[in-house]
C-alpha cells in the first residue's frame, strides 16, 4: 500500500478519516491552492524537519506535490527513516483538482 488515489483520499476526508497530509510543494505553490488540513513542509525542508514529523511515524501519512514526483521522493525518504505507512498521492494536487475537488485551482 504505497500509493493513494485522489478518489480514495477524498472519500477518507469526507468520512472524517483523513490521514496525516503533508504538502511538499514550495510556498508559492501552496499559496495558489492546497488540500484543506495539510501540513506544509517543502521538500527541501523535510530532512531538517524530520524530528518534527516523527510524531506521525506510526500513523498513516499521505504526501503530495503538484504531480506526484517530488512526493514520491519524500515518500522514499520517510520510509528510509522509519515511517512504515507513508503513501504518495498519485497525480498530486493536479489530479485532486481534476477528479476530487474541481473548486481547487489548477496551475
Which residues are known catalytic residues? 65
Coil, strand or helix at 43: helix
Distance of CA 101 to the CA centre of its chain: 15
Q: How far is CA 48 from CA 4, 30, 32, 40, 71, in A?
A: 25, 20, 25, 14, 16
Which residues contact residue 76 at a Cβ distance below 8 angstroms, ignoring those fewer than 6 apart? none
Amino acid at each position: 500500500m504505497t500509493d493513494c488515489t485522489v478518489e480514495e483520499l477524498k472519500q477518507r476526508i469526507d468520512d472524517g478519516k483523513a490521514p496525516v497530509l503533508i504538502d511538499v510543494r514550495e510556498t508559492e505553490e501552496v499559496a495558489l491552492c492546497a488540500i484543506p488540513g495539510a501540513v506544509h513542509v517543502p521538500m527541501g525542508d523535510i530532512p531538517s524537519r524530520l524530528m518534527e514529523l516523527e510524531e506521525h511515524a506510526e500513523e498513516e501519512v499521505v504526501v503530495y506535490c503538484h504531480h506526484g514526483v517530488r512526493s514520491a521522493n519524500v515518500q522514499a525518504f520517510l520510509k528510509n527513516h522509519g515511517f512504515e505507512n507513508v503513501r504518495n498521492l498519485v497525480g498530486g494536487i493536479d489530479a485532486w483538482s481534476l477528479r476530487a475537488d474541481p473548486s481547487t485551482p489548477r496551475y
